[in-house]
């Protein structure tokens, strides 16, 4: 399944004591980079989240953002009277040295370190809620990645069809180029002989002329022979179609054969190499233009492949 690296997913999980929200944002990256923005109270959930994401994702820079909201309780938490007595004693000691020291406010007493033990998050319950939200957000993000991947694959197929048409046109063009070269060669040979010895062309036998033309035509044919390059381009197009249609269905994990994006990038490098060779062997302006059009289409596909996981 071709999947894009750019996508977004979010989910929410509710508990009796509150709710937790989780967001996943993914953009292009050469490797899989995970960045976590977690509250300190849920920092322990980073490892399970990392394991969940690395089991399903190949590449991409993924930001994981988690936030939570707690429901306000109907009963105030109780303050430890013994602790309050000790705090008052310390306050009196401080005022003996600094009379202007003010007493802490009630809200400060409630939030004092050690006084919210009965109001702490339940690690097990909140961790389970966080993982539930993470799985839902991951499924949503993967579906978005698949939709965008299908769109990118469609664009690459259109470019691949253009490459196939150019390859077919060049194959048809080569025999005509060779025939035209023979005609030009014969005319040039006739002009050269007539210039050196007027009427001397009549003294050259047909066999000698045919042999000389055959030699020159063979050299020209070898020089413009791009059958191997065209054959490789067709082979690469077949591999491209295989990569774009491989693994149809709902994605459940990593690709068994590795990153599709990296394989596509390598494939387009090989196709570009064949196009360069085709241009260097061009025996006519038509072949030169065909090579340039091939490079343009291959570059368009390569740019799309940069977004593929």
| Residue 248, pLDDT score | 42
Q: Rounded to whole angstroms, how far apart are CA atoms 184 and 232?
A: 31
Sheet arrangement for strand 7-15: 7-15, 18-27, 60-70, 32-37
Residue predicted with more confidence, 75 or 267: 267
Provide Rg for the chain, Cα atoms: 37
Contact 144, 11 (CB under 8 A): no
Q: Rounded to whole angstroms, how far apart are CA atoms 277 and 260?
A: 26
| Residue 279, pLDDT score | 83
For the stretch 198-247, pLDDT in tens is 555 555 555 655 665 566 555 555 455 677 888 899 999 999 999 988 64
For the stretch 96-135, pLDDT in tens is 988 888 888 887 777 676 665 555 567 888 899 999 999 9
| Residue 174, pLDDT score | 77
Residue 181 pLDDT greater than 50, yes or no: yes
Percentage of residues in the chain having pLDDT higher than 90:
46
For the stretch 140-152, pLDDT in tens is 999 999 999 999 9
Q: Can you give the pTM of this predicted structure?
A: 0.68
Residue 4 pLDDT greater than 60, yes or no: yes
Q: Rounded to whole angstroms, how far apart are CA atoms 292 and 250?
A: 38
Give the pLDDT mean for 80-87: 86
Contact 184, 152 (CB under 8 A): no
| Residue 256, pLDDT score | 47
Q: Which two tokens stand for residue 152?
A: 């990118």
| Residue 105, pLDDT score | 85
Residue predicted with more confidence, 232 or 257: 232
Give the pLDDT mean for 66-89: 79
Helix (H) or strand (E) segment spanning residue 18:
strand 18-27
Percentage of residues in the chain having pLDDT higher than 70:
74
| Residue 249, pLDDT score | 39
Q: Rounded to whole angstroms, how far apart are CA atoms 305 and 30?
A: 12
Cβ neighbors of 136 (< 8 A, separation 6 or more) are 9, 11, 13
Question: What DSSP assignment string belongs to 195-206?
Answer: HHSTTGGGGS-H
DSSP-derived 3-state class of residue 255? coil
Q: Which two tokens stand for residue 218?
A: 């063979």
For the stretch 151-175, pLDDT in tens is 999 999 999 999 999 999 988 887 7
| Residue 250, pLDDT score | 41
Give the pLDDT mean for 34-39: 94
From 112, 83, 94, 153, select the one nearest 309 (Cα to Cα): 153
Residue predicted with more confidence, 65 or 260: 65
| Residue 123, pLDDT score | 82
Helix (H) or strand (E) segment spanning residue 149:
helix 123-196
- Mean per-residue pLDDT over the chain, rounded: 82
């Amino acid at each position: 399944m071709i999947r894009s690296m750019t996508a977004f997913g979010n989910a929410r999980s509710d508990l009796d004591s509150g709710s937790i929200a989780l967001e996943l944002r993914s953009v292009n990256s050469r490797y899989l980079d995970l960045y976590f923005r977690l509250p300190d109270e849920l920092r322990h959930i980073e490892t399970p989240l990392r394991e969940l994401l690395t089991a399903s994702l190949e590449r991409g820079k993924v930001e994981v953002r988690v936030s939570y909201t707690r429901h306000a309780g109907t009963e105030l938490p109780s303050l430890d009277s013994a602790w309050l007595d000790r705090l008052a004693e310390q306050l009196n000691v401080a005022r003996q040295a600094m009379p202007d020291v003010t007493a802490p406010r009630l809200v400060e007493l409630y939030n004092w370190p050690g006084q919210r033990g009965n109001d702490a998050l339940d690690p097990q319950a909140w961790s389970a809620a966080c993982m539930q939200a993470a799985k839902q957000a991951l499924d949503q993000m993967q579906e978005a990645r698949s939709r965008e991947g299908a769109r990118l694959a469609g664009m690459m197929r259109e470019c691949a069809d253009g490459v196939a048409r150019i390859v077919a046109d060049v194959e048809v063009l080569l025999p005509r180029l060779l025939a035209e070269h023979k005609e030009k060669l014969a005319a040039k040979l006739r002009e050269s002989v007539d210039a050196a010895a007027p009427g001397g062309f009549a003294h050259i036998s047909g066999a000698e002329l045919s042999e000389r033309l055959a030699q020159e035509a063979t050299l020209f044919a070898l020089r413009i022979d791009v059958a191997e390059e065209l054959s490789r381009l067709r082979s690469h197009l077949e591999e491209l179609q295989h990569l774009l249609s491989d693994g149809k269905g709902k994605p459940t994990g990593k690709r068994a054969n590795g990153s599709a994006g990296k394989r596509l990038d390598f494939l387009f490098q090989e196709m570009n190499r064949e196009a360069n060779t085709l241009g260097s062997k061009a025996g006519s302006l038509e072949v030169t233009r065909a090579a340039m059009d091939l490079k343009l289409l291959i570059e368009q596909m390569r740019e799309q492949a940069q977004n593929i996981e």
